Amino acid sequence: MKLQTNRYGKARVRVFKKIKKDGVHVPKELEVKTLLEGDFSDSYTKDDNKKIIATDSIKNTTNFVAYNQLDTETEPFAIALCEHYLKKYSHVTSVNVETLERVWERQIVDGKPSGTNFVGAGKGTPWTRTVATRDSIETTSGVRELVVLKTSGSAWEDFLRDELATLPDTNDRLLATSLTASWVYQKAPASYATANANIIQAMLEAFSTRFSPSAQSSQYHMGEAALNVCPEISQISLTMPNLHYLVIDMAPFNIKNDKELFVPTDAPQGWIEATVAR
Protein backbone atom coordinates (compact mmCIF):
# COMPACT_ATOMS: atom_id res chain seq x y z
CA MET A 1 0.00 0.00 0.00
CA LYS A 2 1.11 3.58 -0.55
CA LEU A 3 0.03 6.92 0.81
CA GLN A 4 -1.24 8.68 -2.29
CA THR A 5 -1.98 12.19 -0.98
CA ASN A 6 -2.08 13.92 2.35
CA ARG A 7 -2.58 17.32 3.89
CA TYR A 8 -3.63 18.52 7.30
CA GLY A 9 -4.10 21.67 9.33
CA LYS A 10 -6.43 23.60 11.60
CA ALA A 11 -9.97 24.72 10.80
CA ARG A 12 -12.42 27.12 12.41
CA VAL A 13 -9.75 29.26 14.04
CA ARG A 14 -11.74 32.33 14.99
CA VAL A 15 -10.03 35.67 15.41
CA PHE A 16 -11.45 39.09 16.16
CA LYS A 17 -9.29 42.18 15.87
CA LYS A 18 -10.25 45.65 17.05
CA ILE A 19 -8.44 47.91 14.59
CA LYS A 20 -8.02 51.45 15.83
CA LYS A 21 -7.84 54.28 13.32
CA ASP A 22 -7.85 57.87 14.59
CA GLY A 23 -9.97 57.00 17.61
CA VAL A 24 -12.49 55.04 15.53
CA HIS A 25 -12.70 51.27 15.87
CA VAL A 26 -12.97 48.91 12.89
CA PRO A 27 -13.97 45.34 13.84
CA LYS A 28 -12.47 42.51 11.80
CA GLU A 29 -13.75 38.99 12.50
CA LEU A 30 -12.58 35.94 10.57
CA GLU A 31 -12.86 32.18 10.68
CA VAL A 32 -9.63 30.74 9.26
CA LYS A 33 -8.74 27.30 7.91
CA THR A 34 -5.10 26.50 7.12
CA LEU A 35 -4.04 23.29 5.34
CA LEU A 36 -0.42 22.27 4.80
CA GLU A 37 1.13 19.95 2.24
CA GLY A 38 4.72 18.72 2.27
CA ASP A 39 7.03 16.04 3.61
CA PHE A 40 4.67 14.65 6.26
CA SER A 41 4.30 11.07 5.05
CA ASP A 42 6.40 9.54 7.86
CA SER A 43 3.75 10.52 10.38
CA TYR A 44 1.16 8.53 8.43
CA THR A 45 3.25 5.49 7.52
CA LYS A 46 6.13 5.25 10.04
CA ASP A 47 4.64 6.60 13.28
CA ASP A 48 7.22 9.43 13.13
CA ASN A 49 5.90 12.90 14.01
CA LYS A 50 9.19 14.83 13.90
CA LYS A 51 8.17 16.95 10.91
CA ILE A 52 4.58 17.52 11.97
CA ILE A 53 3.71 21.10 12.92
CA ALA A 54 1.07 20.59 15.60
CA THR A 55 -2.38 21.83 14.71
CA ASP A 56 -2.33 23.76 17.98
CA SER A 57 0.80 25.52 16.69
CA ILE A 58 -1.09 26.30 13.47
CA LYS A 59 -3.80 27.94 15.59
CA ASN A 60 -1.15 29.95 17.45
CA THR A 61 0.47 30.94 14.17
CA THR A 62 -2.85 32.23 12.88
CA ASN A 63 -3.22 34.38 15.99
CA PHE A 64 0.39 35.58 15.82
CA VAL A 65 0.18 36.64 12.17
CA ALA A 66 -3.25 38.20 12.76
CA TYR A 67 -1.93 40.27 15.64
CA ASN A 68 0.95 41.59 13.57
CA GLN A 69 -0.49 41.81 10.06
CA LEU A 70 -4.29 41.59 9.94
CA ASP A 71 -5.82 44.90 8.90
CA THR A 72 -9.11 45.86 7.26
CA GLU A 73 -8.42 43.77 4.12
CA THR A 74 -8.35 39.98 4.39
CA GLU A 75 -6.32 38.94 1.36
CA PRO A 76 -2.94 40.46 2.45
CA PHE A 77 -3.31 38.65 5.79
CA ALA A 78 -3.97 35.30 4.05
CA ILE A 79 -0.96 35.82 1.79
CA ALA A 80 1.22 36.66 4.81
CA LEU A 81 0.03 33.51 6.58
CA CYS A 82 0.97 31.37 3.58
CA GLU A 83 4.37 33.03 3.29
CA HIS A 84 5.08 32.43 6.98
CA TYR A 85 4.97 28.64 6.58
CA LEU A 86 6.87 28.56 3.29
CA LYS A 87 9.68 30.72 4.69
CA LYS A 88 9.91 29.03 8.09
CA TYR A 89 9.60 25.34 7.17
CA SER A 90 11.62 23.96 4.26
CA HIS A 91 9.57 20.74 4.17
CA VAL A 92 6.27 22.59 3.61
CA THR A 93 5.56 22.74 -0.14
CA SER A 94 2.05 24.19 -0.33
CA VAL A 95 -0.25 26.19 1.94
CA ASN A 96 -4.00 26.65 1.50
CA VAL A 97 -5.67 29.34 3.61
CA GLU A 98 -9.43 29.90 3.51
CA THR A 99 -11.33 32.57 5.42
CA LEU A 100 -14.93 33.42 6.15
CA GLU A 101 -15.75 36.87 7.49
CA ARG A 102 -18.50 38.11 9.78
CA VAL A 103 -19.23 41.63 8.62
CA TRP A 104 -20.07 44.34 11.13
CA GLU A 105 -21.84 47.55 10.07
CA ARG A 106 -21.42 50.74 12.02
CA GLN A 107 -24.50 51.84 13.96
CA ILE A 108 -25.97 55.30 13.69
CA VAL A 109 -26.20 56.87 17.16
CA ASP A 110 -27.81 60.30 17.63
CA GLY A 111 -27.81 60.74 13.87
CA LYS A 112 -24.07 60.08 13.47
CA PRO A 113 -21.96 56.97 12.76
CA SER A 114 -20.75 55.54 16.06
CA GLY A 115 -17.07 54.94 16.53
CA THR A 116 -17.61 51.89 18.73
CA ASN A 117 -21.06 50.40 18.12
CA PHE A 118 -21.93 47.92 15.38
CA VAL A 119 -24.66 45.61 14.10
CA GLY A 120 -24.24 42.38 12.18
CA ALA A 121 -24.67 42.77 8.43
CA GLY A 122 -26.78 40.42 6.34
CA LYS A 123 -25.36 40.97 2.86
CA GLY A 124 -23.66 37.64 2.32
CA THR A 125 -20.48 36.22 3.81
CA PRO A 126 -17.14 37.41 2.36
CA TRP A 127 -14.81 34.51 1.60
CA THR A 128 -11.20 34.09 0.45
CA ARG A 129 -8.83 31.27 -0.53
CA THR A 130 -5.09 31.72 -0.97
CA VAL A 131 -2.97 28.84 -2.28
CA ALA A 132 0.79 29.35 -2.24
CA THR A 133 3.80 27.27 -3.23
CA ARG A 134 7.43 28.30 -3.61
CA ASP A 135 6.76 29.04 -7.29
CA SER A 136 3.30 30.58 -7.34
CA ILE A 137 0.51 32.18 -5.37
CA GLU A 138 -3.17 32.40 -6.28
CA THR A 139 -5.71 34.54 -4.47
CA THR A 140 -9.44 33.94 -4.83
CA SER A 141 -12.05 36.17 -3.21
CA GLY A 142 -15.81 35.90 -3.15
CA VAL A 143 -19.11 36.00 -1.34
CA ARG A 144 -21.42 33.27 -0.09
CA GLU A 145 -25.17 33.24 0.49
CA LEU A 146 -25.91 36.69 -0.91
CA VAL A 147 -29.70 36.53 -1.21
CA VAL A 148 -31.22 38.58 -4.04
CA LEU A 149 -34.77 38.84 -5.38
CA LYS A 150 -36.53 40.17 -8.48
CA THR A 151 -40.30 40.57 -8.09
CA SER A 152 -40.65 41.52 -11.76
CA GLY A 153 -38.63 41.39 -14.96
CA SER A 154 -38.08 37.63 -14.99
CA ALA A 155 -39.48 34.87 -17.22
CA TRP A 156 -39.07 31.16 -17.89
CA GLU A 157 -40.51 29.97 -21.19
CA ASP A 158 -39.76 28.22 -24.48
CA PHE A 159 -37.73 25.52 -22.73
CA LEU A 160 -37.40 21.91 -23.88
CA ARG A 161 -40.70 20.00 -23.84
CA ASP A 162 -40.98 16.23 -23.60
CA GLU A 163 -43.37 13.70 -22.03
CA LEU A 164 -42.10 14.50 -18.51
CA ALA A 165 -42.33 18.30 -18.73
CA THR A 166 -45.22 19.66 -16.67
CA LEU A 167 -44.06 23.18 -15.77
CA PRO A 168 -46.02 25.87 -17.62
CA ASP A 169 -44.35 28.77 -19.41
CA THR A 170 -44.38 32.10 -17.63
CA ASN A 171 -43.31 35.56 -18.75
CA ASP A 172 -43.75 37.03 -15.27
CA ARG A 173 -42.26 35.28 -12.27
CA LEU A 174 -40.32 35.98 -9.09
CA LEU A 175 -36.62 35.20 -9.37
CA ALA A 176 -34.63 34.72 -6.18
CA THR A 177 -31.33 33.06 -5.39
CA SER A 178 -28.72 32.68 -2.71
CA LEU A 179 -25.66 33.67 -4.73
CA THR A 180 -22.24 32.19 -4.11
CA ALA A 181 -19.49 33.66 -6.28
CA SER A 182 -15.71 33.53 -6.32
CA TRP A 183 -13.23 35.38 -8.51
CA VAL A 184 -9.54 34.73 -9.18
CA TYR A 185 -7.08 37.60 -9.11
CA GLN A 186 -4.46 37.51 -11.87
CA LYS A 187 -2.73 40.46 -10.20
CA ALA A 188 -3.24 42.38 -6.98
CA PRO A 189 -5.60 45.38 -7.16
CA ALA A 190 -4.81 48.70 -5.50
CA SER A 191 -7.38 47.72 -2.86
CA TYR A 192 -8.94 44.28 -2.47
CA ALA A 193 -11.81 45.74 -0.45
CA THR A 194 -12.67 48.28 -3.15
CA ALA A 195 -12.30 45.74 -5.95
CA ASN A 196 -14.49 43.19 -4.16
CA ALA A 197 -17.16 45.80 -3.44
CA ASN A 198 -17.14 46.93 -7.09
CA ILE A 199 -17.49 43.34 -8.32
CA ILE A 200 -20.47 42.66 -6.06
CA GLN A 201 -22.14 45.94 -7.01
CA ALA A 202 -21.62 45.23 -10.73
CA MET A 203 -23.23 41.80 -10.36
CA LEU A 204 -26.18 43.23 -8.43
CA GLU A 205 -26.72 45.93 -11.04
CA ALA A 206 -26.69 43.35 -13.83
CA PHE A 207 -29.18 41.21 -11.90
CA SER A 208 -31.43 44.19 -11.17
CA THR A 209 -31.41 46.17 -14.41
CA ARG A 210 -31.46 43.46 -17.08
CA PHE A 211 -34.57 41.49 -18.02
CA SER A 212 -34.01 37.85 -17.11
CA PRO A 213 -35.22 35.22 -19.60
CA SER A 214 -33.56 32.59 -17.38
CA ALA A 215 -31.36 32.28 -14.32
CA GLN A 216 -28.67 31.03 -16.70
CA SER A 217 -28.79 34.27 -18.69
CA SER A 218 -28.70 36.42 -15.55
CA GLN A 219 -25.77 34.41 -14.25
CA TYR A 220 -23.69 34.89 -17.39
CA HIS A 221 -24.29 38.62 -17.57
CA MET A 222 -23.53 39.03 -13.86
CA GLY A 223 -20.17 37.32 -14.46
CA GLU A 224 -19.57 39.48 -17.53
CA ALA A 225 -20.27 42.64 -15.53
CA ALA A 226 -17.81 41.56 -12.82
CA LEU A 227 -15.02 40.99 -15.37
CA ASN A 228 -15.72 44.35 -17.01
CA VAL A 229 -15.54 46.30 -13.76
CA CYS A 230 -12.37 44.64 -12.41
CA PRO A 231 -9.49 44.08 -14.88
CA GLU A 232 -7.40 42.40 -12.16
CA ILE A 233 -9.53 39.23 -12.12
CA SER A 234 -9.19 36.49 -14.73
CA GLN A 235 -12.41 34.57 -14.13
CA ILE A 236 -15.45 34.35 -11.90
CA SER A 237 -17.52 31.32 -10.87
CA LEU A 238 -21.15 31.69 -9.82
CA THR A 239 -23.58 29.28 -8.18
CA MET A 240 -27.24 30.29 -8.10
CA PRO A 241 -29.71 27.85 -6.51
CA ASN A 242 -33.33 28.83 -7.06
CA LEU A 243 -35.29 30.06 -4.08
CA HIS A 244 -38.77 29.35 -5.40
CA TYR A 245 -41.88 31.38 -4.66
CA LEU A 246 -44.97 29.44 -5.70
CA VAL A 247 -48.31 31.12 -6.25
CA ILE A 248 -50.82 29.95 -3.64
CA ASP A 249 -54.18 28.73 -4.95
CA MET A 250 -56.79 30.94 -3.27
CA ALA A 251 -59.71 29.72 -5.41
CA PRO A 252 -61.22 27.65 -2.55
CA PHE A 253 -61.75 30.96 -0.75
CA ASN A 254 -63.28 32.68 -3.79
CA ILE A 255 -60.17 34.84 -4.13
CA LYS A 256 -58.31 35.40 -7.38
CA ASN A 257 -54.63 35.45 -6.44
CA ASP A 258 -53.10 37.60 -9.18
CA LYS A 259 -49.50 36.66 -8.32
CA GLU A 260 -49.64 38.51 -5.03
CA LEU A 261 -49.40 35.73 -2.41
CA PHE A 262 -46.72 33.03 -2.58
CA VAL A 263 -45.32 30.18 -0.52
CA PRO A 264 -41.50 30.33 -0.27
CA THR A 265 -39.65 27.03 -0.73
CA ASP A 266 -36.06 26.02 -1.42
CA ALA A 267 -36.51 22.27 -1.86
CA PRO A 268 -36.29 20.84 -4.38
CA GLN A 269 -34.41 23.66 -6.05
CA GLY A 270 -32.89 24.40 -9.41
CA TRP A 271 -29.07 24.55 -9.25
CA ILE A 272 -27.28 26.70 -11.82
CA GLU A 273 -23.49 27.04 -12.08
CA ALA A 274 -21.20 28.85 -14.49
CA THR A 275 -17.65 30.12 -14.78
CA VAL A 276 -17.07 33.19 -16.97
CA ALA A 277 -13.50 33.88 -18.04
CA ARG A 278 -11.71 36.41 -20.22
Backbone φ/ψ region at 59: left (φ over 0), alpha (ψ -120 to 50), beta: alpha
The b-or-e profile of 234-255 (16+ CB within 10 A means b, else e) is ebbbbbbbbbbbeeeeeeeeee
* Selected catalytic residue, list 17, 55, 123, 239: 55
Q: Say whether 221 is catalytic.
A: no
- Catalytic residue list contains 84: no
CB 90, CB 31: distance < 8 Å? no
- Phi, psi (rounded to 5 degrees) for 215: -65, -35
Check: CB of residue 187 under 8 Å from CB of residue 224. no
Q: Is 55 a catalytic residue?
A: yes
Q: How far apart are CA 18 and CA 117, in angstroms?
A: 12
Which residues partner with 233 through β-bridges? Answer: 185
**How far, in Å, CA of 124 to CA of 118, rounded?**
17
Q: Of these residues, 10, 28, 59, 84, which one is catalytic?
A: 10
Residue 208 CB coordination number (10 Å) = 13
Instruction: Considering the candidates 28, 59, 84, 244, report the single residue annotated as catalytic.
Output: 244
Task: Output phi, psi for 218, to 5 deg.
Answer: -60, -40
17-42 as b/e: b if 16+ CB within 10 A = beeeeeeeeebbebbbbbbbbbebee
* Residues known to be catalytic: 10, 55, 244
